[in-house]
Structure 1
Amino acid sequence: MPQHRRKIPFSNKKKKDQILAKRQSRTSSLYLKSYDSADEDETTEEAVGVQKLNSQPSSRVARNRNVNRYNLQFYEESKKEIELMKAEANIPLREVQKRDLEMTFKFFEGYDFPARPPWNYDMSRDELNRNENKYFREYVDNLSKLHKDENKRLSLFELNLETWRQLWRVLEISDILLIIVDVRYSTLMFPPSLYTYIKETLKKRAILILNKVDLVAPQTILAWKAYFKETYPDLPVVIFASNQTGKKKRGGNTATFQKRSYEGVLQVFKECQKMVQSEIDLTSWEAKILEDMRVEEEAGGSVEEHQTHIQSDDFNFEQHEAYKNGIVTIGCIGFPNVGKSSFINALKGRKVVSVSRTPGHTKHFQTIFLTNNVKLCDCPGLVFPSSTPKYLQVLLGSYPISQLKQPYPSLKFLGERLNLPKLLKITLPADYDDWTATALCEAWAYKKGFLTAKASRPDLYRAANHLLRMCLGGQLVLEFYPPGYVDKEEDFKNHPDIGDVIKFQGIIPGESVTGWEAAGGDEKGNSDDGEFSEDCSSDVSSDDEDSETGGRYRGNNAFSVLDD
């Protein structure tokens, strides 16, 4: 330090900001410029960068590749946005009617997705990489500028080109595509542009998998099936149950869950058989499914571990040839946390891929042979471009809850659509006049014992994260409905197929299996007072989808019983 210069205090906050700036400068992202809709004279402090999630130290190398190669990448919020999120925490909750939960494809309107640019075999690998990088950079720039011109904030979507390349690879080599969605948020996880691309550009067939059907009422499942069949007549729809959260604590058994899974797998096989017809003999696949069902029933639901084959070169260029070498290739695509890994394990008949609630858990393109002539391809979950607000994306599982700077907007959205005070059996804290997001967190923190170490004050942030994880895991069941559902709800409750759906869900008298039934619903899903079983208050602290947790909370809409 030069002499006679006064020493300037250096705060820890400033040091942290410097470290964060260094980390961002080291990233090789092409998109570290701000596309915020703020005024041009806004200070640089409002600039929005790219956040890499689940990053590992750069010194760690696996198979001669950067371990951070496939990490999720999203835009960061500006300081101004974070302040607005803080303010929402103290806004009183308002009632949202059931009709407002009817959801169309509106968030995908006007959006396409980055498809692989044209290529040919005369291009070198470097030329292909440069071409794809240029295309993707221009795609992101154009999409962001469009939002800036329209004074809109661009929603979070995947900014990692490596992950999109894996999707391109799966789309290219697959004969049949399985589009997997969480039935609770069906239209929020089904990009119409993707289906149009598969059908019209690639000229391939697709099957829609409505997953996690054990979390919703049977009439909701029938309504979604009818809506998709009406909207996309050529798209087969299969229901599937890949969620067994809390089954052991509620007295269920894994064998019941496996039986439901194999029934779903059998339906997938039948739809594939219709598409393949006589070009490929799939009798060996059918025989395998029936044999797996028999073995599981005799073994009582035991799970066999198996090493997954990870493709070493996951985006080579190859002209598609239908049923190449006499093998039908089935590709699995979908958003993060739709249950793809559990679905693949059920298809294989044993655990071949690990499962987790953390978005971005599956990082690699994977190929798994179901039989000698049936190959399954999986790629990481992708957040497609849309205008879905971030607070809703958090509830969908697209964004890691642990990475949230402000969880309160998501909790406010949840609290306005579920009657959390009644479901959680909490009372309004003395310092509040109305229920707000912070009031919910404080009441839940006191009930669960979430207190800070030094001052023993309620840990609001931990309580908020805990509630959001319960929603993600299916213990707090938020579900959306197709357009016109409220007017036709009684018709779906009396639908001739509802008995088959209830049977598939595994709902039998005395066994709490689904979230709506755990809340006091009758055999057809009619909920009375929104109560839940006592074991539902168990802690949810693990990210592992196979962890044992309690039952599920599901009640009437928001404030319907607050005045009781």
Structure 2
Amino acid sequence: MIKQILAYIRKSDLVVEVLDAREPDLTRSKRLENYVMENQKKLLIVLNKGDLIPVEVLEKWKKFIEENEGIPTIYISATRHLGTKVLREKIKELIEGEGKIIFIGYPKTGKSSIINALKGRHSATTSKHPMSYGYTRSIQLFRIDNRIFAWDTPGIIPPDGNELERIIRGANVDKLEDPVRGAKLLIERIEGIDKSVLRNTYKIDYSNYLDFLEKLALKRGWILKTSHEPNIDEAAKAFIRDYHEGKIIYYLLPENVNK
């Protein structure tokens, strides 16, 4: 599929890379960005799920990327249809009114939702969980308006990087070898940014990641039939799904990315 995506990038007038506004740096595909630049194609970065992040933080990311890398950047919330007019106008500006664009991004960044928002009706296939039923499986062509066409690509840019990065980039939670370890890494990531996030989100007071998962399992009634212990595997998977679905809200400032 990567080879197909590269082929469609070569055919496109503009490449739109969709990122998760909570983790802009970790949801970028530098490999594909480099390919876009090497083929002298225009690139637009879209920070999606912008409703989860304070506007001033989104503005800082926009300024940071544009000033440091020279890549046009906007922010939107596709599910709430916020900023889609700005996106439409930016696309028209970059392709000078007409042409073909391609949306790329890791799973769960919201590419298909953006196309739906641009079209004003549900035409692109969407799903709640990576690689589940309804998930975009093939490259599909859509008409944005009379002069703009868009290819929607499956979000199967392999979630690469280390274990935490793969989880943030939309790895299929049901295929994780050790979901508890994955949840631990994500919990540590979030706590390293804001220790109050999980307590405020889940209304759970806990001492460590294992205590959190046990209490989450008990709160939701997930008990193992044989041992009558909390099903922490199920809690871990649910926690990672909650993250993908935007239920866990935190943010990074650009200057803190490499610290």
Query: Which of 12, 17, 29 is residue 191 of structure 1 equivalent to?
Result: 29
Residue 43 of structure 2 corresponds to residue 206 of structure 1: yes
CA contact (8 A) 1:441 1:464 kept: yes
Query: 2:68 corresponds to which residue?
Result: 231
Cα distance, 1:472–1:382 mapped onto 2, change above 3 Å = same
CA contact (8 A) 1:185 1:396 kept: no
Question: Which amino acid letter does the alignment assign opposite residue 72 of structure 2?
Answer: P
Question: Which amino acid letter does the alignment assign opposite residue 162 of structure 2?
Answer: P
The CA deviation string for residues 507-555 of structure 1, in whole angstroms up to 9 with x for no partner, is: xxxxxxxxxxxxxxxxxxxxxxxxxxxxxxxxxxxxxxxxxxxxxxxxx
Q: In the aligned structure 2, how far is the partner of 1:452 from the partner of 1:192?
A: 42
Give the length in aligned residue pairs. Answer: 250
Shift of 1:473: 1.2
Alignment of 1:219-258 (within 5 A): 219-233=56-70, 235-243=71-79, 257-258=80-81
The CA deviation string for residues 298-352 of structure 1, in whole angstroms up to 9 with x for no partner, is: xxxxxxxxxxxxxxxxxxxxxxxxxxxxx61111111111100101111111000
SS of 1:194's equivalent in the other structure is helix
Shift of 1:363: 1.0
How large is the Cα RMSD of the aligned pairs?
2.4
Shift of 1:408: 2.1
Question: Which amino acid letter does the alignment assign opposite residue 373 of structure 1?
Answer: R
SS of 1:188's equivalent in the other structure is coil
Residue 118 of structure 2 corresponds to residue 347 of structure 1: yes
Q: In the aligned structure 2, how far is the partner of 1:182 from the partner of 1:339?
A: 8
The CA deviation string for residues 230-262 of structure 1, in whole angstroms up to 9 with x for no partner, is: 2222x211111023xxxxxxxxxxxxx34x2xx
SS of 2:47's equivalent in the other structure is strand
Question: Which amino acid letter does the alignment assign opposite residue 444 of structure 1?
Answer: L
TM-score relative to the length of structure 2: 0.86
Cα distance, 1:183–1:427 mapped onto 2, change above 3 Å = closer
Shift of 1:400: 0.8
The CA deviation string for residues 373-393 of structure 1, in whole angstroms up to 9 with x for no partner, is: 22111111243585x321332
Alignment of 1:119-158 (within 5 A): none
The CA deviation string for residues 278-304 of structure 1, in whole angstroms up to 9 with x for no partner, is: xxxx4xxxxxxxxxxxxxxxxxxxxxx
Cα distance, 1:329–1:437 mapped onto 2, change above 3 Å = same
Q: In the aligned structure 1, how far is the partner of 2:31 from the partner of 2:168?
A: 23
Question: Which amino acid letter does the alignment assign opposite residue 127 of structure 2?
Answer: S
Shift of 1:218: 2.1
Query: Which of 437, 456, 460 is residue 209 of structure 2 equivalent to?
Result: 437
Query: Which of 155, 160, 164 is residue 2 of structure 2 equivalent to?
Result: 164
Cα distance, 1:446–1:384 mapped onto 2, change above 3 Å = closer
CA contact (8 A) 1:170 1:379 kept: no
CA contact (8 A) 1:471 1:478 kept: no
Query: 2:86 corresponds to which residue?
Result: 267
SS of 1:231's equivalent in the other structure is helix
Q: In the aligned structure 1, how far is the partner of 2:40 from the partner of 2:23?
A: 27
Q: In the aligned structure 2, how far is the partner of 1:456 from the partner of 1:212?
A: 38
SS of 2:235's equivalent in the other structure is helix
SS of 2:25's equivalent in the other structure is helix
SS of 1:479's equivalent in the other structure is coil
Q: In the aligned structure 1, how far is the partner of 2:230 from the partner of 2:95?
A: 59
Query: 1:140 corresponds to which residue?
Result: none
Shift of 1:450: 1.1
Question: Which amino acid letter does the alignment assign opposite residue 78 of structure 2?
Answer: S
Query: 1:426 corresponds to which residue?
Result: 204
CA contact (8 A) 1:411 1:464 kept: yes
Cα distance, 1:239–1:422 mapped onto 2, change above 3 Å = closer
Residue 104 of structure 2 corresponds to residue 330 of structure 1: no
Q: In the aligned structure 1, how far is the partner of 2:30 from the partner of 2:177?
A: 31
CA contact (8 A) 2:106 2:159 kept: no
Q: Specify every segment of 5 or more residues in structure 1 that has no aligned partner in the other structure, as ranges.
A: 1-162, 244-256, 283-326, 429-434, 486-564
Q: In the aligned structure 1, how far is the partner of 2:61 from the partner of 2:125?
A: 29
Query: 2:164 corresponds to which residue?
Result: 391
Query: 1:47 corresponds to which residue?
Result: none
Alignment of 1:376-387 (within 5 A): 376-383=150-157
Q: In the aligned structure 2, how far is the partner of 1:236 from the partner of 1:342?
A: 21
CA contact (8 A) 1:328 1:375 kept: yes
Shift of 1:187: 1.1
The CA deviation string for residues 22-74 of structure 1, in whole angstroms up to 9 with x for no partner, is: xxxxxxxxxxxxxxxxxxxxxxxxxxxxxxxxxxxxxxxxxxxxxxxxxxxxx
Query: Which of 144, 148, 154 is residue 370 of structure 1 equivalent to?
Result: 144
Q: In the aligned structure 1, how far is the partner of 2:253 from the partner of 2:181?
A: 22
Cα distance, 1:237–1:427 mapped onto 2, change above 3 Å = closer
Higher Rg: 1
**Runs ≥4 residues deviating over 6 A:** none
